[in-house]
Each structure stands twice: as C-alpha cells, then as structure tokens.
Structure 1
Amino acid sequence: MKGSFNNIITSDTPVLVDFFADWCGPCKVLTPVLRQVKDELGEEVTIVKIDVDKNPSIASKFDVRGVPTLLLFKSGKQLWRQSGVLQKNAIVQIIRSHS
C-alpha cells in the first residue's frame, strides 16, 4: 500500500485522503458526503480512504491522531488538512481553490 499511496498523492489531480476507522461514528457520516463530492467533481479529484487501523504507518507519517481527518494533496504536496466532518459544499470549495 505504501508505494502505491505515494504514487497516488504525487498526481497532478488533487487527491483528497480520508483517514478513517470502522468504529468511528463521524467517519460513517462523512462517507456519503465524500460520495457527493466525487459525484460533483468527477475527474477533478481523486478520493482515497485510508483505514488507520489497517495502515498505522501511513497515519503516523502524516501525524493523524483523530478520525476522520481529511488531507488534500497535489503533486505530492500537502495543501490542506482538517479533522472532523465537513459539509459537501465546503469540501468542494476547498478542492476547487487548490485545483
């Protein structure tokens, strides 16, 4: 996973990474919101979900201490991060501002 994760975040297309856990209630709320974001933005964004319990090394590398945490990457650079649940329009606006 690690090699492919690094390949994904170096894309020229913005990549939104959702660090989540199966036991996390707010993470479950965020999942359909991210689906709506993808429906609206289509090819403008790649959305990747990382289970922190299955990928602790990636979560640790990016200092993810709480879930859900969203990170936005483009060309390998982290452009934005926030923990907690956001509304679709806020996420779309953030991604578009970095496109």
Structure 2
Amino acid sequence: MATIKISDASFENDVLKSDKPVLVDFWAEWCGPCKMIAPALEEISGERDDLVIAKINIDDNPETPTRFGVRGIPTMILFHKGEAQATKVGALPKQQIASWIDDALL
C-alpha cells in the first residue's frame, strides 16, 4: 500500500475514523529532512498491511498541525482508534521509524 495524501478536510475520515493505525507525516515542500524520510516511509508502507501512512502538507493544511501542536517538521504522529498514541520529531533512519511504530503499537 502506498502512502496517502490527506488534508484538513479529509483528516477525520482518513485518520480518526480509520480501522487501522495511521502514521501521519507532517511535512512541507521546502523541508530537506522531510524529503530524507519520505523514501523510508514509502518502504514501510509497502511492507505493512496493518498500518496506513498518510502525509499532510502543513503549508496547504494549517488547521491540523495547529490542532495537534506540531511546531517543527518533519513530525510523525501515530494515531490509533481516533487518538494520538505517539509522536516523533525529526528525520530518523527507516529502522528507527519502524521500531518506534512497533513500540507504540504494542
């Protein structure tokens, strides 16, 4: 499954009402570290059927990052059953992202 693009308008349906856990990547076009982690998130998305990875561009969608207190990017927030479960700020290698996901979903 590829990563999905979401917006302020689709956030509730795509994330909060999802049957599966959703990792939301808050990013922007101008953010170098955001571009560094994008391939890792794509790979993780392709390897896991139990998780949705969604990307939201903070420049185009200012409401959602404000609502969840996103101050720096990249920020990844893992949502499950409509609740924010865990947050990571900054670029990480794929293995660390995968481990963080596993730990948060235990």
Q: TM-score, normalised by structure 1?
A: 0.89
Quick check: 1:71 aligned with 2:77? yes
Q: Bigger CA drift: 84-93 or 28-37? A: 84-93
Q: How many residues align?
A: 98
Of 45, 60, 64, which residue of structure 2 is paired with 1:58? 64
Whichever structure has more helix as a proportion of its residues is 1
Deviation at 1:96, TM superposition (A): 2.6
Deviation at 1:90, TM superposition (A): 1.9
Of 21, 25, 38, which residue of structure 2 is paired with 1:14? 21
Where does the alignment leave 5 or more consecutive residues of structure 2 unmatched? 1-6
Where do 1:75-94 residues align within 5 Å? 75-94=81-100
Partner amino acid for 1:94?
W
Where do 1:32-51 residues align within 5 Å? 32-41=39-48, 43-51=49-57
Where does the alignment leave 5 or more consecutive residues of structure 1 unmatched? none
Q: Partners of 2:47 and 2:96 in 1: how far apart?
A: 12
Q: TM-score, normalised by structure 2?
A: 0.84
Deviation at 1:31, TM superposition (A): 0.6
Matched-pair contact (CA < 8 Å) for 2:41–2:94: yes
Deviation at 1:95, TM superposition (A): 2.2
Map of 2:4 onto structure 1: none
Deviation at 1:12, TM superposition (A): 2.9
Deviation at 1:64, TM superposition (A): 0.8
Aligned-CA RMSD value: 1.4
Give the % identical residues.
42
